[in-house]
Amino acid sequence: MATSALIQSTKLCFYTLQGVKATASQCRAFTTKLTDQQQYIQDLCRNFSKNNLKPNASKLDLAGRFPFDEIKKLTDLGLMGANVDEEYGGLGLDYLSLAIAVEELSRGCASTGMIVSIHNFLYANLVNEKGTQEQKEQFLRDFTKGSIGCFSLSEPGAGSDVASIKTKAREDGNYWVLRGKKSWVSSAIEGSATIVFATFDPELKHKGIACFLVPLDAEGVFRGKKEPIIGVSLCHRAVTACDLTLEDVRIPKSYVVGEPGDGFRIAMEQLDQGRIGIAAHAVGIAQAALDTAINYAKERVAFGKSLTRLPSVKDRLTDMSILVETARLLTYRAATNVSTKNSAMAKYVAGRNAAAVADHCVQILGGRGLSTDYDAERHFRDARGTQIYGGVTDIQKRLIGHFLLKENDAL
């Protein structure tokens, strides 16, 4: 189906499905049964991924080229504002629908899936849910139509330890002045605005942090070079990540999200959402690795039979399938019942499982698993990153343990 026809069909279907729309807050119990709307999103994104992403994923990866054309088509489909209120150009979907979309897109191209995930879960959702009407008009409406949003939290000396951020914010009349450096800001080279977390009183630690909306073309904002990751074998090569240097960037007080001092809470709440996106991203990569392994094993003949008939390969494929489904179930539950524990558990398991599935995939392909002529090595690289960004697995495990004990009055 042509892209224009697909877009029109999508819009018509969304209007038809308004009556069956379910939001995460309306779900009283977790179920694996998808609503009609969620099933439609899954089919839409699966077909888009198969026809528009998978054929070019390797080329984008090897060239390190941002998927502008693909993101433009996804914008036209409304998926760059998946959870955004319809009033501001979004589709008004629930979190599970977005998680399903990220999974299916990542199955075809991990880089594209990551861009969609970060833009929606970490930027657009934040502005949509916590922004003022004025902020939404300036920092949200255009971001459902093609502008890309970013999330700037990590710094050279502060990642998981958010309370230790050093970027400073000081009041100057009706303005705030920001100064500092942010690291690993995905899509910042192509982005139009970013969320920035800065401290206005370091002695207050997490209570002294504020959340700001910052146009990336503002005076004093400097983008660094694209960061090389894992040496010459980059994970998500088509996704740009760079440092942002803020040199006395003056922004109006109206660009503060919430109140000064709310920044830490906002960051933590947003990371709960972001980890759902990363988990879905990991599930999509793992599914792609399983697909690659099965397709190769069906065609490859060794010892007079296809690899699928060798017990060792069959056992690996079985393990891979179990790992994928386990991660998918945890991710779906986290998307329907958002909490720090659920999102941390989903990210922890999905990241670890994706890495294990990708490793099995490389092993099944043997020497070809190390060749850039095959997808296995790309899945291997992409899967490893899901255990790092959004909070390393060690931190997720600590979060899970903390809330487990808290729930049982055992702290």
Instruction: Report pLDDT digits (tens) over 59-94.
Output: 998 888 899 999 999 999 999 999 999 999 999 999
Task: Kindly indicate the confidence band of residue 14, based on its pLDDT and cuts at 50, 70 and 90.
Answer: low
C-alpha to C-alpha distance for 276 and 279, rounded to whole angstroms: 5
How confident is the model over 378-403, as a mean pLDDT? 94
Q: Are residues 135 and 167 in the same domain?
A: no
- What does the pLDDT read at residue 12? 55
Q: Which residues contact 314 (CB under 8 A, 6 or more apart)?
A: 308
Residue 30 has pLDDT above 70, yes or no: no
- What does the pLDDT read at residue 240? 82
Q: Are residues 244 and 295 in the same domain?
A: no
Instruction: Report if residue 13 sits inside a domain.
Output: no
How confident is the model over 335-361, as a mean pLDDT? 97
The CATH number that applies at residue 230 is 2.40.110.10
Say which residue, 1 or 202, is predicted with more confidence.
202
Contact (CB, 8 A) for 38 and 102: no
151: its two tokens: 């999330």
How confident is the model over 217-228, as a mean pLDDT? 87
C-alpha to C-alpha distance for 54 and 34, rounded to whole angstroms: 25
85: its two tokens: 């209120």
Cβ neighbours of 348 (radius 10 Å): 24
Q: What is the DSSP string of 116-185?
A: HHIIIIIIIHHHHHH--HHHHHHHTGGGGTT--EEEE--BTTBSS-GGG---EEEEETTEEEEEEEEEEE
Task: Kindly indicate the confidence band of residue 291, based on its pLDDT and cuts at 50, 70 and 90.
Answer: very high
243: its two tokens: 């440092």
- What does the pLDDT read at residue 304? 87
Say which residue, 123 or 226, is predicted with more confidence.
123
Instruction: Report if residue 16 sits inside a domain.
Output: no
C-alpha to C-alpha distance for 94 and 84, rounded to whole angstroms: 9
Instruction: Report if residue 192 sits inside a domain.
Output: yes
Instruction: Report if residue 25 sits inside a domain.
Output: no
Residues of the chain above pLDDT 70, percent: 90
Instruction: Report if residue 357 sits inside a domain.
Output: yes
Instruction: Report if residue 34 sits inside a domain.
Output: yes
Q: Are residues 301 and 373 in the same domain?
A: yes
- What does the pLDDT read at residue 358? 98
The CATH number that applies at residue 278 is 1.20.140.10
Q: Are residues 128 and 179 in the same domain?
A: no
Residue 15 has pLDDT above 90, yes or no: no
Compute CA 264 distance to the chain's CA centroid, rounded to the nearest angstrom.
Answer: 20
DSSP-derived letter for residue 256 is E
Residue 186 has pLDDT above 70, yes or no: yes
The span from the first CA to the last CA of the chain, in angstroms, equals: 56
Show the domain range for 65.
Answer: 3-7+30-144
- What does the pLDDT read at residue 227? 67
Contact (CB, 8 A) for 162 and 132: no
- What does the pLDDT read at residue 25? 41
Q: Are residues 235 and 343 in the same domain?
A: no
- What does the pLDDT read at residue 2? 57
C-alpha to C-alpha distance for 335 and 112, rounded to whole angstroms: 20
Rg of the chain in Å (alpha carbons): 21
> Among 121, 144, 167, which residue terminates a domain?
144
Contact (CB, 8 A) for 90 and 75: no
Q: Are residues 321 and 280 in the same domain?
A: yes
Compute CA 57 distance to the chain's CA centroid, rounded to the nearest angstrom.
Answer: 17
Say which residue, 87 or 305, is predicted with more confidence.
87
Instruction: Report if residue 14 sits inside a domain.
Output: no
Give me the residues paired with residue 256 across strands. Answer: 212
Q: Are residues 154 and 190 in the same domain?
A: yes
Compute CA 31 distance to the chain's CA centroid, rounded to the nearest angstrom.
Answer: 23
Decide: helix, strand or coil at residue 193: strand
Smallest Cα–Cα separation from 282: which of 45, 139, 102?
102
How confident is the model over 122-130, as a mean pLDDT? 98
Instruction: Report if residue 324 sits inside a domain.
Output: yes
C-alpha to C-alpha distance for 49 and 66, rounded to whole angstroms: 16
Q: Are residues 255 and 313 in the same domain?
A: no
> Residues 311-337: pLDDT tens digits?
999 999 999 999 999 999 999 999 999
Smallest Cα–Cα separation from 111: which of 226, 279, 236, 232?
236
The single-letter code of the amino acid at 9 is: S
Cβ neighbours of 411 (radius 10 Å): 9
How confident is the model over 349-376, as a mean pLDDT? 96
262: its two tokens: 């709310």
- What does the pLDDT read at residue 23? 45
Q: Which residues contact 252 (CB under 8 A, 6 or more apart)?
A: 174, 175, 176
Buried b (16+ CB within 10 A) or exposed e, 148-184: bbbbbbbbeebbbebeebebbbeeeeeebbbbbbbbb
Where is average pLDDT lowest: 24-33, 37-46, 108-117? 24-33
Q: Are residues 176 and 130 in the same domain?
A: no
- What does the pLDDT read at residue 32? 77
Task: Kindly indicate the confidence band of residue 9, based on its pLDDT and cuts at 50, 70 and 90.
Answer: low
- What does the pLDDT read at residue 228? 60
Number of structural domains (the chain) is 3
> Among 237, 263, 289, which residue terminates a domain?
263
**Average pLDDT of the chain to the nearest whole number:** 91
- What does the pLDDT read at residue 163? 82
> Among 263, 289, 317, which residue terminates a domain?
263
Contact (CB, 8 A) for 2 and 10: no
The CATH number that applies at residue 43 is 1.10.540.10
Q: Are residues 156 and 255 in the same domain?
A: yes
- pTM exceeds 0.85 for this model: yes
